[in-house]
């Protein structure tokens, strides 16, 4: 969709244009809700990380939350140029650290650590690659393993949210028909390298029943509970755990900073489209939407809930809310893509006319939509399971986690049907979907850009070393 017609409004514009204005309205606000929750969520995480060095009894976590909150608001207030430069260096640190973790994990798995113990795939056999869901009372081992898998899957959704950010930037990208498809492909490879490979190696160097891991997880401190920290500690490396925790703090701060930026720009976009009060469309002379930034920043104060309540408890509530809002965002994007493909077919636009076609096509979106809906519906299943404590089972309903796990769904539906009732909007038929408004201007800009690039390089082709750099260093960073 972005390669065919880049819209400044991003994926909310596609939902509005190809499906129903009500879906575009609901998607825009859902996306804003996600980021005004994930920002205080990351600020809460900073308090969790700092527990590694400073116990809450000595310094109130609210002090650190306030410091980081002021910092991210100021960085966003100074404008996009300062923000971009700041995030560039933080992102460079993040990529370097993750590559270092991959290399270190491989070395430890091969026996290169201080303990000189080549672990290989030992832990896959004993205690095993998959841990049963131990808290469930009265279920078989296979069922407990499936419950553990599903619980992990729903939790992992939170970690993978944010890949749709490419769709937020399409309106500002130069030559989007070349840049956006490349960014999409690189996102897949980076996720494969930075997420899947790293977790695969972690499973080789740390068993799930390690006492230090169990104790750290129970301690409720995100830094101490990091499995990489535990793996480094049991390998006998003394200096790196504290350094890695410092890096985790940088990661969390960078995430909070970026999340506040996206929240303010999302609210600004809603106001520009007429779906939010016009005051939020106002900017200062540097182009910063100060009113949208101000309102989005106010919700960051939710992070101070962790001052009176356990930081880990508040963190879990935020994770539940962010996850359901993120799933609803992806459900809307997938529905938009399905309607877009149906509109192309109805209006006889062949795949050959497209600058980029999704590898899975419309069926890939159908399958993804099915699983997103499945996870959204059953993500809170474990709140109904009877827990096992001591020698007895109890079925106490965890209503707080249940509410935060599913609150987004009624809000999402209320916004859709409320908009349709008030604005009398109708669904878009494939035959009448607007596939072309604004496309001619994009075509002209693309030709001008390509001509300028050709003149800039004197008509020369990309050099051999340029291709090597782009496909290696450029792919990673």
Q: Return d(Cα 226, Cα 217) in angstroms, integer.
A: 8
220 pLDDT above the threshold of 60: no
Question: What ranges make up the beta strands (E) of 342-424?
Answer: 387-389, 392-394
Cα–Cα–Cα angle for 188, 194, 198, nearest 5°? 130
pLDDT of residue 389: 41
Q: Of all residues in the chain, what percent are helix, strand and coil, respectively (each to 5)? A: 70, 0, 30
Mode of pairing for the β-strands spanning 387-389 and 392-394: antiparallel
pLDDT of residue 184: 81
Q: For residue range 340-362, list pLDDT tens digits in order.
A: 999 999 999 998 888 888 888 89
Question: How is residue 157 written in tokens?
Answer: 């959704």
Q: Return d(Cα 43, Cα 45) in angstroms, integer.
A: 5
474 pLDDT above the threshold of 70: no
Q: For residue range 223-242, list pLDDT tens digits in order.
A: 455 788 888 888 888 878 88
Assign 387 to helix, strand or coil.
Answer: strand
Sign (positive or negative) of CA dihedral 188, 193, 195, 196? positive
pLDDT mean over 429-453: 84
Question: 238 with 230: CB under 8 angstroms?
Answer: no
Q: For residue range 166-186, list pLDDT tens digits in order.
A: 777 676 667 777 788 888 888
459: alpha, beta or left, given left = phi > 0 and alpha = psi -120 to 50? left
pLDDT of residue 75: 93
Quickly state the pLDDT bin for 394 (edges 50, 70, 90): very low
Sign (positive or negative) of CA dihedral 126, 131, 135, 141? negative
Topology annotation, domain 11-437: Amino acid/polyamine transporter I (1.20.1740)
The full DSSP string for 43-57 is HHHHHHHHTTTS-TT
pLDDT of residue 316: 80
Question: 30 with 415: CB under 8 angstroms?
Answer: yes
pLDDT of residue 146: 80
Question: 2 with 180: CB under 8 angstroms?
Answer: yes
Question: How is residue 338 written in tokens?
Answer: 């399905």
Q: Return d(Cα 403, Cα 380) in angstroms, integer.
A: 9
pLDDT mean over 264-281: 91
pLDDT of residue 393: 44
pLDDT mean over 47-62: 84
Question: How is residue 313 written in tokens?
Answer: 């408890």
pLDDT of residue 39: 94
Which residue in 261, 56, 93, 25 sits closest to 165, CA to CA?
A: 261
Min mean pLDDT across 303-317, 340-354, 395-409 is at: 303-317
Question: How is residue 444 written in tokens?
Answer: 């002209």
Assign 136 to helix, strand or coil.
Answer: strand
Q: Return d(Cα 51, Cα 70) in angstroms, integer.
A: 20
Which regions of the chain carry the CATH code 1.20.1740.10? 11-437
Peptide bond into 127 cis (omega under 30): yes
pLDDT mean over 259-287: 90
The full DSSP string for 181-229 is HHHHHHHHHHHIIIIIIHHHHHHHH--TT-HHHHHHHHHT-TTTT-HHH
Which residue in 299, 303, 317, 312 sits closest to 49, CA to CA?
A: 312
386 pLDDT above the threshold of 50: yes
């Amino acid at each position: 969709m972005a390669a065919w017609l880049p819209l400044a409004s991003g994926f909310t514009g596609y939902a509005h244009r190809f499906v129903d204005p009500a879906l575009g309205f609901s998607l825009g606000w859902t996306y804003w809700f996600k980021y005004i929750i994930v920002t205080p969520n990351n600020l809460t995480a900073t308090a969790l990380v700092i527990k590694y060095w400073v116990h809450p009894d000595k310094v109130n976590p609210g002090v650190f939350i306030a410091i980081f909150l002021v910092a991210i608001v100021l960085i966003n207030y100074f404008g996009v140029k300062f923000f971009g430069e700041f995030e560039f260096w933080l992102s460079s640190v993040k990529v370097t650290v993750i590559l270092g973790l991959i290399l270190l994990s491989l070395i430890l798995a091969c026996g290169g650590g201080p303990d000189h113990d080549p672990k290989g795939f030992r832990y896959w056999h004993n205690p095993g690659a998959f841990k049963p869901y131990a808290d469930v009372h009265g279920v078989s081992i296979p069922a407990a393993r499936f419950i553990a898998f599903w619980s992990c899957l729903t939790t992992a959704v939170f970690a993978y949210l944010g890949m749709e950010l490419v769709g937020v930037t399409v309106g500002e990208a130069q030559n989007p028909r070349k840049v956006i498809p490349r960014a999409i492909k690189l996102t897949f490879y980076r996720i494969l390298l930075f997420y899947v490979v790293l977790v695969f190696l972690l499973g080789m160097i740390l068993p799930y029943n390690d006492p230090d891991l169990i104790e750290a997880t129970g301690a409720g401190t995100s830094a101490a509970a990091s499995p990489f920290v535990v793996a480094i500690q049991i390998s006998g490396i003394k200096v790196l755990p504290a350094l890695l925790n410092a890096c985790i703090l940088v990661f969390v701060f960078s995430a909070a900073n970026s999340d506040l930026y996206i929240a303010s720009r999302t609210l600004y976009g809603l106001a520009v489209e007429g779906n939010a009060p016009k005051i939020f469309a106002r900017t200062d002379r540097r182009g910063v939407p100060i009113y949208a930034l101000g309102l989005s920043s106010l919700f960051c104060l939710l992070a101070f809930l962790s001052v009176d309540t356990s930081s880990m408890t508040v963190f879990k509530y935020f994770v539940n809310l962010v996850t359901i809002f993120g799933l609803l965002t992806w459900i809307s994007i997938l529905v938009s893509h399905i309607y877009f493909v149906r509109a192309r077919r109805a209006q006889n636009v062949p795949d050959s006319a497209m600058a980029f076609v999704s590898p899975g096509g419309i069926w890939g979106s159908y399958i993804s939509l099915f699983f997103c809906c499945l996870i959204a519906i059953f993500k809170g299943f474990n709140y109904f399971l009877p827990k096992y404590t001591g020698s007895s089972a109890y079925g106490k309903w965890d209503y707080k986690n249940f509410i935060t796990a599913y609150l987004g769904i009624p809000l999402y539906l209320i916004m859709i049907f409320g908009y349709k009732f008030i604005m009398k909007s109708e669904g878009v038929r494939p035959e009448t979907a607007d596939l072309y408004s604004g496309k001619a201007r994009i075509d002209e800009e693309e030709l001008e850009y390509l001509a300028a690039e050709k003149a800039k390089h004197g008509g020369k082709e990309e050099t051999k070393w340029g291709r090597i750099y782009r496909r290696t260093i450029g792919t990673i960073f």
